[in-house]
């Protein structure tokens, strides 16, 4: 079987539900953002310690699952509850990791270690995916995907505290200083 089908050459694609839609459709935009998020997480994992990869790999799998639901797979109550459970798990990880981070009262400039910079980059992609999903939900009137908005919101929080943690062992966080003052 060939990797190319040529079916998308006209600007259309088929989603899971078998429905043909334009590649510019909001759903495809969100799926593209999720794909980019997953690839950026894979990059961050490849440059990070084993501890970070153990934390992040399961979330990469979740992103694929999320994409299948957004693409048309039925989101059962059980599946929605599983995602709520994963959000709770993320919150526990966030609390555990953030306890070791220094308190901050200003913005952090992305950077420091390579892992930290890559995690910050993933965080910004995650935020874009979240915004796109909210926009898509509004246009498609699809409230059932609210659990994914919460999931992405929490994932971006997790990526932030992990990025800060990656700077705890070597380089320090770069603290924003208002250049206008």
- The residue ranges of every structural domain in the chain are 22-96+107-175
For the segment 51-79, the average pLDDT, to the nearest whole number, is 91
φ/ψ bin of 9: left (φ > 0), alpha (ψ from -120 to 50), beta (otherwise)? alpha
pLDDT tens-digit readout, 34-50:
999 999 999 999 988 77
pLDDT tens-digit readout, 153-165:
999 999 999 999 9
What is the distance between the terminal CA atoms of the chain, rounded to a whole angstrom?
62
For the domain made up of 22-96+107-175, give the CATH fold: Hypothetical Protein Ta1238; Chain: A; (1.20.1200)
Predicted model pTM: 0.89
């Amino acid at each position: 079987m060939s990797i190319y089908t040529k079916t998308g050459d006209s600007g259309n694609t088929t989603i899971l539900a078998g429905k043909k839609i334009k590649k510019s459709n909001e759903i495809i935009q969100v799926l593209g953002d999720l794909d980019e998020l997953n690839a950026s997480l894979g990059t961050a994992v490849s440059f990070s310690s084993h501890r970070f990869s153990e934390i992040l790999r399961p979330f990469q799998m979740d992103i694929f699952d999320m994409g299948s639901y957004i693409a048309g797979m039925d989101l059962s109550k059980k599946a929605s509850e599983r995602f709520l459970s994963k959000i709770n798990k993320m919150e526990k990880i966030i609390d555990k990791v953030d306890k070791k981070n220094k308190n901050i009262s200003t913005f952090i400039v992305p950077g420091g270690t390579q892992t930290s910079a890559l995690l910050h980059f993933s965080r910004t992609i995650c935020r874009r995916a979240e915004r796109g999903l909210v926009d898509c939900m509004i246009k498609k009137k699809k409230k059932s995907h609210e659990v994914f908005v919460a999931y992405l919101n929490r994932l971006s929080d997790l990526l932030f505290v992990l990025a800060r943690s990656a700077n705890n062992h070597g380089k320090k966080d770069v603290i924003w200083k208002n250049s206008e003052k």
